[in-house]
Amino acid sequence: MTSTFFKTSILCMCVGLFTAACSTTPHTTKLKTPQKTIDVHAVSAQGIGAKIGTISFQDSPNGLNISTQLSQLPSGFHGFHIHEKGSCAPAEKDGKMGAALAAGGHYNPLQTGHGTPNDGHMGDLPVLNVDSNGNAKTTLIAPRLKLADIQGLAIMIHAGGDNYSDHPKPLGGGGDRIACGVIQ
C-alpha cells in the first residue's frame, strides 16, 4: 500500500509540474506604472551648469522609487530633497545670489519639521551616497510620496550630509545646493 501511495504521489507531482510548466499565464505580475526620467544639472550662483546624469521616478506599493544615475559629484553623503518650486535657477537671498534658490524650500505641504523620509517634510528623502569616483547609482524609496505629488517640483542635492533634524542647524545642516532637476 505504501508503494502505491508513493507512486500516486509522484505521478500527481509530475502532472502538476508539467501543467505549471505549460501554462501561458505568468505566475508573477510586474507593476506597470509610469516612469518619469529627468535630467539633473550642476548648479551654482551663476546659473545652471552641465548635465551630470538622470533621476527616474516610479510609483511602487512601498512609495516612490527614485533611481539615480549621477556622476561628477563630490564623494560622501549629501542631503537629497524635493523642493517646492519647479526651478533650478539661481536667486537672491539676503542680497547675495545663491545656487538654485528659485526652487524654494523643501516640499512641505503638511507644515511639519525637518525629519526622516517617514516623518518630516514630504520632500525629505534618504541621504544620497556618492562613491569615491563621484558616482551615485542607486535606488531609494520615498515611502510617503507618489509621482503625482511631485510633478512640477524640483529635486535637489545639497553639499554635505543630512542629520534629519533642525538642530544644530536648520534643514539637516546640509550645505549649498550643488545639483538640481525639474520634475516635469
What is the structure's pLDDT at 117? 78
What is the structure's pLDDT at 25? 35
What is the structure's pLDDT at 120? 79
What is the structure's pLDDT at 126? 94
Q: If you compute the radius of gyration of the chain from its CA atoms, what whole number of angstroms results? A: 23
Instruction: Spell out the domain ranges in the chain.
Output: 35-182
What is the structure's pLDDT at 33? 83
What is the structure's pLDDT at 12? 39
CATH topology (fold) of 35-182: Immunoglobulin-like (2.60.40)
Distance CA 144, CA 119 (A): 9
Q: Cβ(164)–Cβ(114) under 8 Å?
A: yes
What is the structure's pLDDT at 5? 42
DSSP per position, the chain: -HHHHHHHHHHHHHHHHHHHHH--S-SS------EEEEEEEEEETTEEEEEEEEEEEEEETTEEEEEEEE-S--SEEE-EEEESSS----EEETTEEETTGGG-SB--TT-PPS--TTTS-TTB-PPEEE-TTS-EEEEEEETT--HHHHTT-EEEEESS---SSSSSSGGGG---EEEEEE--
Q: Which residues in the chain come in under a pLDDT of 70?
A: 1-31, 163-174
